[in-house]
Amino acid sequence: MSDRELSRTGPKDSVGFVEYPSDGFLYEFLGTQMTAERDHLAIDLRYVAKTYRRRIHALRGIEMRVYPGEIFGLLGPNGAGKSTLVKIIMTVVRPNRAEGTILGRPMGHKPTLAQVGYLPENHRFPAYLTGRQALEYYAALAKVGRRERKRRAMELLELVGMHQWANTKLGTYSKGMQQRIGLAQALSNDPQLVVLDEPTDGLDPVGRRETREILLRLRDQGKTVFLNSHLLGEVERVCSRVAILVAGKVVRQGTLDELTAASEHYEIGLHGDATEGLSSAVRAALPCELQAAPVGASPFGAAAAPPGVVVPVVVPTERGTLPSGETVEFDGAMVRIHTDQAQAVQPVIDALRGQGLVIESVRLVRQSLEDFFIQAVSDTQNGDAAVQAIRKGGPA
């Protein structure tokens, strides 16, 4: 094998490193041995960077790990670089810099890409093909045998609920029907890794539920799913781990439990309306001093609201620290204790009852993925306020 060929395939036990100069592209490979952990990762990305026209920083040093047999969700606001990252993984877009492996082999390794299924975000199928013909065609491109691809085509049409339209031309399909065929073609080569870019786009609620069931079935079969979606509810239902991408950088990554555990707190609902009498009883019951927490100002300031505009009444939040160290908040008829330990809540319940207050509910609350996502992308350092400046080459 020549040196040039070696530079494109790399030594057998190397970690893939790809760098694309402006005058062409060159594969290089680091000579370090893979650790056992990296060798068994489904996706291992490091230092992935992409700049368009030397000013638009689409990706800024992405580091990401996806483990075999999991459903991994990629989240981010519009323009965060999610689709660019997916296209780099699939070698559709050339990065300026990238180090990592796919299914244990260097990025861009063609035999490995044959084990990956891919559903692009805005896919287009030949309108003159039927659903069955399209699946057989894409399976043939993946070098699936003739008999096997015919069998798999009908099997996949059944899986995505399109067997009744197997012999109907794609040009007559609705967007949701084409999306189902798109998911089926991503599975036509029986892949070990499935990369899906907005797989539920255009699907109705029934289609989304069926897609979730398919993804969970793939996971149960030991396959890895890399899912890019803006539908947070769908991601929360199926993904075991997620990464949040903002302005080309990963700002959060981990399991759903890891990301939202810090937000766990108990809410104690009190009977009655938010009155000064109720507030006085709560202040007397809690074994700490409460102080008013900052609240947002009215958008109209001191001026009166325009005619027809109703300004909501903002109940001020009062906050204090319990002797045991937990933060407690009170507003309206709700007491919140920032802990996940039930034993820390019981003395507060007893104290409230001691003041004659009626407890309507006690529940442990954890932040939803949607709330966590909004908080992450709204951060003053990494969030929406900084997105445009960062992507145009401003401060990271």
Rounded to an integer, what distance in angstroms lies between the CA atom of residue 228 and that of residue 197? 5
pLDDT band at 136 (very low <50, low <70, confident <90, very high): very high
pLDDT(339) > 50: yes
Does 324 fall in a domain? yes
Rounded to an integer, what distance in angstroms lies between the CA atom of residue 297 and that of residue 190? 57
Question: Residue 118: its pLDDT value, please?
Answer: 94
Please tell me whether the overall predicted TM-score, pTM, comes out greater than 0.95 for this model.
no
Supply 259's token pair: 């990301």
Does 276 fall in a domain? yes
Rounded to an integer, what distance in angstroms lies between the CA atom of residue 310 and that of residue 25? 60
Give 144-176 pLDDT, tens digit per residue: 899 999 999 999 999 999 999 999 999 999 988
Q: Which of 69, 68, 72, 368 is nearest to 240 (CA)?
A: 72
User: What mean pLDDT, rounded, does the chain reach?
Assistant: 79
Using an 8 Å Cβ cutoff, are 239 and 73 in contact? yes
What CATH number should be reported for the domain holding residue 325?
3.30.70
Does 48 fall in a domain? no
Rounded to an integer, what distance in angstroms lies between the CA atom of residue 113 and that of residue 192? 10
Give 204-216 pLDDT, tens digit per residue: 898 899 889 999 9
User: In which domain, by residue range, is 335 found?
Assistant: 265-289+317-365
pLDDT(133) > 80: yes
Does 355 fall in a domain? yes
Rounded to an integer, what distance in angstroms lies between the CA atom of residue 34 and that of residue 136? 37
Question: Residue 244: its pLDDT value, please?
Answer: 92
Distance of CA 296 to CAs 274, 290, 313, 314, 371, Å? 19, 19, 12, 9, 18
In this prediction, what percent of the chain has a pLDDT beyond 70?
Answer: 79
Does 84 fall in a domain? no
Does 312 fall in a domain? no
3-state secondary structure at position 353: helix
Does 184 fall in a domain? no
Query: Phi/psi at 335 (nearest 5 deg)?
Result: -110, 130
Does 273 fall in a domain? yes
DSSP string, 186-214: HTTT--SEEEEESTTTT--HHHHHHHHHH
Supply 349's token pair: 């319940």
Rounded to an integer, what distance in angstroms lies between the CA atom of residue 69 and that of residue 55? 38
Q: How many domains does the chain have?
A: 1
